């Protein structure tokens, strides 16, 4: 007797929970040939704001964790990703319509990037900061610190790798993230959220919204409790308008990138969402 499958309900990921959109809306996710795959939640402005609240609440814990601890948690994400690679490969094939080997390569690279970024948590401070030889009796040290809440428009033409490439570097220094997933390929994002939910990542550190980036991005760009905006996947949106919105609260903004090298692994993606803090302390004159 054949097994009747139990399809997954793809919901949002906010504050460590998997709620439906408060709006009650869903949209159809299909294969490139139009075959129905799932009804994904179509997140609303309210969902985006709830996600920012959850992300803000998570900042002090995540930023305050030791770098070693953040590194281990991020490495564990890679471990759990590896364990669920079959599910990711299957979803990539179905959403993107690519071959199994292309899907496998994408998952391989996604896992490797998590590992690469996990290793940066206790090193970016050394590479990005330094002592300053000021002219006077002062101990003077510059150290990069996390910016706070980072809103991300994930690459739209990649289901898993683009998403991972955008959120992992923001997490390294201790930022929390609200990410708008690829509108056409949202399933991998929610499955990744399941990985994050079971990888010791504190709730609210990553919040995943699915639905219309054009609808949600302006609210995040204008939100006064968002510190930075990564527009890496926003090239098809009116992204200059988003940057103009972001200027109202002087958010740090990364521009759109296109092509296969979008959000390529780089230290600059980590430091883009850090703030350099310089502390002067007097030394006694002995």
Partner 1 sequence: MSFLEYAPAPESTAILNLKPEYGLFIGGEFVAGGGESFSTISPATEKPIARIANADSGDVDRAVAAARRAYDKTWSKLSGRDRGKYLFRIARLVQERARELAVAESLDNGKPIKESRDVDVPLVAAWFFYYAGWADKLDHAGLGANPRSLGVAAQVIPWNFPLLMLAWKIAPALAAGNTVVLKPAEQTPLTALLFAEILQQADLPAGVVNILTGAGDTGRALVNHPDVNKVAFTGSTSVGREIARSTAGSGKKLTLELGGKAANIVFDDAPIDQAVEGIVNGIFFNQGHVCCAGSRLLVQENVHDEVVERLKSRLSTLRVGDPLDKNTDVGAINSAEQLARIRELSAVGEDEGAERWSPACELPAEGFWFAPTIFTNVSTSHRIAREEIFGPVLSVLTFRTPAEAIAKANNTPYGLSAGIWSDKGSKVLAVADKLRAGVIWANTFNRFDPASPFGGFKESGYGREGGRHGLAAYLKGSK
* Closest to partner 1 by CB, 86 or 240: 240
> What is the closest distance, in whole angstroms, from the C-beta atom of residue 224 to partner 1 in the complex?
8
- For residue 144, how many C-alpha atoms fall within 13 Å in the half-sphere facing its CB? 25
> What is the closest distance, in whole angstroms, from the C-beta atom of residue 233 to partner 1 in the complex?
16
Q: Which two tokens stand for residue 131?
A: 């002592």
Confirm or reject binding of residue 133 to partner 1 (CB under 8 A): yes
Chain centroid to CA 42: how far? 18
Confirm or reject binding of residue 91 to partner 1 (CB under 8 A): no
Site for partner 1 in 221-280 (CB under 8 A): 227, 239-240, 243-244, 246-250, 252, 255, 268, 275-280
Residues 29, 39: contact at Cβ < 8 Å?
A: yes
Options 27, 75, 116, 138; binder of partner 1; rule CB under 8 A = 138
- Pairwise CA distance, residues 213 & 210, whole Å: 8
Q: Which two tokens stand for residue 40?
A: 């994904």
Options 3, 282, 285, 286; binder of partner 1; rule CB under 8 A = 282
Q: Report the interhelical angle of 85-96 vs 100-118 (nearest 10°).
A: 130
Q: Which two tokens stand for residue 185?
A: 């390929």
List the Cα angle 42/228/277 in 5-degree steps: 150
Confirm or reject binding of residue 66 to partner 1 (CB under 8 A): no
> What is the closest distance, in whole angstroms, from the C-beta atom of residue 153 to partner 1 in the complex?
15
Q: Which two tokens stand for residue 85?
A: 């690679």
Options 136, 259, 285, 286; binder of partner 1; rule CB under 8 A = 136
Q: Which residue has the tokens 């490797």?
A: 112
Confirm or reject binding of residue 123 to partner 1 (CB under 8 A): no
Binding residues for partner 1, per CB under 8 A? 127-128, 130, 132-136, 138, 140, 142, 147, 227, 239-240, 243-244, 246-250, 252, 255, 268, 275-282
């Amino acid at each position: 007797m054949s097994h009747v499958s139990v399809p997954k309900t793809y919901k949002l990921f906010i504050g460590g929970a998997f709620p439906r959109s408060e709006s009650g809306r869903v949209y159809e996710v299909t294969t490139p040939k139009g075959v129905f795959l799932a009804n994904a939640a179509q997140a609303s402005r309210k969902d985006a704001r709830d996600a920012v609240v959850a992300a803000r609440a998570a900042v002090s814990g995540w930023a305050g964790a030791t770098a070693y601890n953040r590194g281990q948690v991020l490495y564990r994400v890679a471990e759990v990703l590896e364990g669920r690679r079959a599910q990711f490969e299957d979803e990539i094939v179905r959403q993107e319509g690519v071959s199994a080997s292309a899907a496998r390569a994408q998952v391989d690279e996604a896992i490797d990037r998590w590992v690469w970024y996990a290793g940066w948590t206790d090193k970016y401070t050394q590479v990005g900061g330094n002592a300053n030889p000021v002219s006077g009796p002062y101990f003077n040290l510059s150290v990069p610190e996390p910016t706070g809440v980072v809103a991300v428009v994930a690459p739209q033409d990649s289901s898993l790798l683009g998403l991972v490439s955008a959120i992992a570097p923001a997490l390294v220094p201790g930022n929390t993230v609200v990410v708008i997933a690829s509108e056409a390929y949202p399933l991998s994002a929610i499955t990744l959220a399941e990985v994050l939910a079971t990888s010791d990542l504190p709730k609210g550190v990553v919040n995943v919204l699915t639905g219309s980036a054009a609808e949600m991005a302006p609210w995040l760009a204008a939100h006064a409790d968002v510190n930075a905006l990564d527009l890496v996947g926003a090239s098809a949106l009116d992204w200059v308008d988003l940057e103009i919105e972001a200027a109202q609260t002087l958010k740090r903004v990364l521009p759109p990138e296109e092509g296969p090298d979008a959000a390529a692994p780089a230290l600059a993606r980590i430091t883009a969402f850090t703030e350099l803090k310089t502390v002067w302390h007097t030394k006694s004159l002995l």
